[in-house]
Chains A and B, each alone.
Chain A
């Protein structure tokens, strides 16, 4: 256990649905990240939040909408997704300058 939790662990949604992924950490970290992990591809950074401010959007389509209400919580709002968005979505948080710790991920299937 790294202290980073993600819910739900599994999610199946249709292309017209709206759902949200949640990430939570109580490690006192001030930076949080969303990554996408697809088969046969490297981990892809999606968004970075530093002290609740978004500091990186890695050209992510607008059907993915992040929200960081405070330093302990991070959400990823999903709407009108495509089948190719099916992947493992990982959240991470970072210590003051270096180590990133990952949650267990949400396995998303878009039908």
Chain B
């Protein structure tokens, strides 16, 4: 199928705690997986990505894990801050028969960081 499953749909954490978002993708040929953050009234912003030749990638307070065997992705945000409150999307890249590629997105996770 074409779907990327993402959960939870909403997540509420206390400031300073970690937040974990998980995705399951379907195309075993996919080789690129970006994560986007979308704040209210703005377009999605790329925050971190991982390619299929890696199983872990770390950024500033964010870590993404990739398990190709079971087609699982996860995003961990450490030491959460109120500014992390947003909707987060995972995605997988798929090739197009006509050339180029497209991203198929998960359904999004609304993260709320509470003081």
Chain A residues with a Cβ under 8 A of chain B: 2, 4, 6, 31, 33, 41-43, 45, 48, 50-51, 53-56, 90, 92, 94, 97-105
A102:B45 contact, CB within 8 angstroms = yes
Chain B interfacial positions (CB closer than 8 Å to A): 4, 32, 34, 36, 41-46, 49, 51, 89, 93, 96, 98-108
A8-B44 Cα distance, complex, nearest whole Å: 18
A50 to chain B, nearest CB (A): 4
**Contact, CB under 8 Å: A102 / B44:** yes
A-chain residues with CB within 8 Å of residue B43 when the two chains form the complex: 2, 4, 6, 90, 92, 102-105
In the assembled complex, which residues on chain A have CB atoms less than 8 Å from the CB atom of B34?
98-100
Q: How far is the CB of B42 from chain A (nearest CB, A)?
A: 6
B59 to chain A minimum Cβ distance, whole angstroms, is 14
> CB distance A48 to B102 under 8 Å?
yes
Are B99's CB and A53's CB within 8 A?
Answer: yes
A55:B44 contact, CB within 8 angstroms: no
Q: Tell me whether B96 and A98 are in contact (CB under 8 A).
A: no
A-B contact pairs, 12 of them (CB 8 A): A2-B43, A31-B100, A42-B4, A42-B89, A48-B102, A50-B99, A53-B99, A98-B51, A99-B34, A102-B45, A104-B41, A105-B42
| Closest beta carbon of chain B to A108's beta carbon, Å | 14
Query: Does A55 lie within 8 Å of B89, measured CB to CB?
Result: no
- In the complex, residue of chain A having the shortest beta-carbon distance to the beta carbon of B3: A42
Cross-chain contact B44 with A56 (CB below 8 angstroms): no
Task: Tell me the smallest distance from the CB of B16 to a CB of chain A, in Å.
Answer: 29
Q: Which 10 A-B pairs have the closest CB atoms?
A: A50-B100, A55-B98, A102-B43, A43-B105, A104-B43, A102-B44, A55-B99, A42-B105, A42-B107, A50-B99
For residue B104, which residues in chain A have a CB less than 8 angstroms away from its CB? 45
